[in-house]
């Protein structure tokens, strides 16, 4: 079996896979209509994929099976380029203007009609990809449910998978890279992790719960990992980051000597951080589920999480974690304090969390066999 890949200049190469890169110029995009700007970029990517894929065709590459993420427009020309291939698309998320992330948080900017139309148009290339594909993959049942019902028969729920043999509970120590302070398993530590510290992942809610946590638990330390940018949404008006905004809002209410802002961590440090956590907090709008919650569960963390979709798909309150209403900072603080005060009394939640992830989200036993079935079906139909 030969495997080829097409990706942008930022794509990561994999051993044994021939990667052909392309690049897209930003020239003239600003001149397009504001509602069409995203699709303009996707079409430019699609054009580059045409050129790049033709290099493969000149080298007599005629794929039986194509896997593609539909989020950047790369899928648009594939059916015309490879009419006999079996296309498997990973659409990941279908944007809606009601009932999901958009409009969920009253503190966020509210959309007018233009904004709502712009959100809907984010689905354009995904809908084209779904029409062309034989199979589509969604990582959670909730994410599948967002897609138009006429496509549900194509969509299989297959999570990306977690490396549970690597992510096992263990005694560990974590060194704060900024201060050199050492934390060890058993210390009274609250952890919070996000790619970037922003409202989509409940950073503002978490921060507002901390004054009560720190007041009630005078030995507790809070370790926060994540960058100062935004992965989703926008920066707050008048501030360079949401961290700056929340620190200003909570000025005088936090003992900052006990709140450790760690920035981005390398993966091994991230794993060590979760291993020394007494209670791990995960909050999210109704949006794409982060890998971090499943990795924390695999590591046996006691997780306090928001009762939002799709979190409720992986955590059953009181069984393998604790759920709290997203906006209820008092309830969040109370749950964190309960676990900090009695970790042994909540230890069964961590054990059940790991068991659930091993049984349902392990890459080798759950994800890989489902992808192999897709590959075998392509071989059988060739």
CATH topology of domain 4-161+363-381: Rossmann fold (3.40.50)
Question: DSSP class of residue 12?
Answer: P
SS3 content of the chain, % helix, strand, coil (to 5): 45, 20, 40
Helix (H, G, I), strand (E, B) or coil at 359: helix
Comparing CA positions, the residue from 29, 13, 30, 33 lying closest to residue 21 is: 13
CB 142, CB 310: distance < 8 Å: yes
Residue with tokens 């390398």: 266
Helix (H, G, I), strand (E, B) or coil at 49: helix
Residues 6+ apart with CB under 8 A from 55: 20
Q: Could you give the C-alpha distances from 381 to 364, 370, 374, 375, in angstroms and in order?
A: 25, 17, 11, 10
β partners of residue 173: 184
pLDDT of residue 305: 98
Q: Is the domain covering 173-361 a CATH 3.40.50.2000 domain?
A: yes
Helix (H, G, I), strand (E, B) or coil at 74: coil
CB atoms within 10 A of CB 88: 21
Pairing of strands 65-69, 18-22: unpaired
**Beta strand extents in the chain (DSSP E only):** 4-8, 18-22, 65-69, 86-90, 135-138, 155-157, 173-175, 182-184, 189-196, 221-227, 259-263, 279-282, 303-306, 322-324
Which tokens is 92 given?
């990941």
- The domain spans of the chain are 4-161+363-381, 173-361
Domains 4-161+363-381 and 173-361 share a fold: yes
DSSP states along 278-335 = SEEEE---SSPPPHHHHHHHHTT--EEEES-TTHHHH--BTTTBEEE-TT-HHHHHHH
pLDDT of residue 311: 98
Q: What is the maximum span of the chain, computed from C-alpha positions, in angstroms? A: 68
The dihedral region occupied by 18, where left means phi > 0, alpha psi between -120 and 50, and beta the remainder, is beta
Which tokens is 119 given?
């959100």
pLDDT of residue 238: 94
pLDDT of residue 23: 85
Distance from C-alpha of 182 to C-alpha of 200, rounded to nearest angstrom: 30
pLDDT of residue 379: 74
pLDDT of residue 29: 60
Distance from C-alpha of 94 to C-alpha of 155, rounded to nearest angstrom: 12
β partners of residue 263: 225
* Count of alpha carbons within 13 angstroms of residue 354, beta-carbon side: 19
pLDDT in 10s for each residue of the chain, 382 residues: 789 998 988 899 999 998 989 888 766 566 678 888 899 999 999 999 999 999 998 888 999 999 999 999 999 999 999 999 999 999 999 999 999 999 999 998 778 899 999 999 999 999 999 999 999 999 999 999 999 999 999 999 999 999 999 999 999 999 999 999 999 999 999 999 999 999 999 999 999 999 999 999 999 999 999 999 999 989 999 999 999 999 999 999 999 999 999 999 999 999 999 999 999 999 999 999 999 999 999 999 999 999 999 999 999 999 999 999 999 999 999 999 999 999 999 999 999 999 999 999 999 999 999 999 999 988 776 5
Query: Can you give the pTM of this predicted structure?
Result: 0.94
């Amino acid at each position: 079996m030969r495997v080829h890949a097409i990706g942008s200049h930022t794509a990561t190469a994999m051993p044994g896979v021939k990667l052909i890169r392309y690049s897209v110029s930003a020239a003239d995009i600003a001149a397009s209509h504001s509602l069409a700007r995203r699709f303009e970029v996707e079409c430019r990517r699609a054009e580059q994929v045409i050129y790049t894929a033709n290099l493969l065709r000149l080298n007599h590459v005629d794929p039986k099976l194509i896997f593609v993420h539909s989020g950047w427009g790369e899928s648009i020309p594939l059916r015309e380029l490879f009419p006999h291939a079996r296309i498997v698309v990973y659409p990941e998320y279908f944007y809606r203007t009601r009932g999901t992330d958009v409009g969920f948080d009253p503190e966020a900017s509210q959309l007018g009609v233009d904004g709502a139309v712009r959100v809907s148009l984010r689905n354009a290339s995904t809908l084209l990809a779904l029409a062309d594909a034989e199979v589509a993959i969604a990582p959670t049942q909730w994410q599948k449910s967002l897609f138009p019902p006429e496509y549900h028969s194509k969509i299989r729920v297959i999570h990306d998978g977690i490396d549970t043999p690597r992510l096992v509970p263990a005694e560990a120590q974590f060194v704060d890279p900024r201060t050199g302070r050492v934390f060890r398993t058993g210390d009274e530590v609250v952890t919070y992790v996000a790619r970037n510290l922003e409202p989509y992942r409940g950073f503002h809610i978490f921060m507002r719960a901390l004054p009560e946590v720190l007041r009630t638990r005078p030995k507790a330390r809070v370790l926060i990992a994540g960058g100062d940018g935004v992965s989703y949404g926008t920066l707050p008006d008048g501030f360079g980051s949401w961290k700056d905004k929340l620190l200003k809002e909570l000025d005088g209410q936090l003992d900052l000597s006990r709140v450790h802002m760690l920035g981005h961590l390398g993966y091994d440090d991230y794993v060590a951080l979760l291993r020394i956590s007494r209670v791990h907090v995960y909050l999210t709008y109704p949006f794409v589920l982060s890998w971090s919650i499943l990795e924390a569960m695999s590591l046996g963390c006691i997780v306090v999480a928001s009762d939002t979709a799709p979190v409720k798909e992986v955590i059953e309150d009181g069984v393998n974690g604790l759920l709290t209403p997203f906006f209820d900072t008092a309830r969040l603080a109370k749950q964190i304090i309960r676990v900090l005060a009695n970790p042994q009394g909540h230890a069964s939640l961590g054990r059940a969390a790991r068991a659930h992830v091993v049984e349902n989200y392990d890459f080798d036993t759950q994800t890989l066999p489902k992808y192999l079935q897709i590959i075998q079906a392509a071989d059988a139909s060739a």
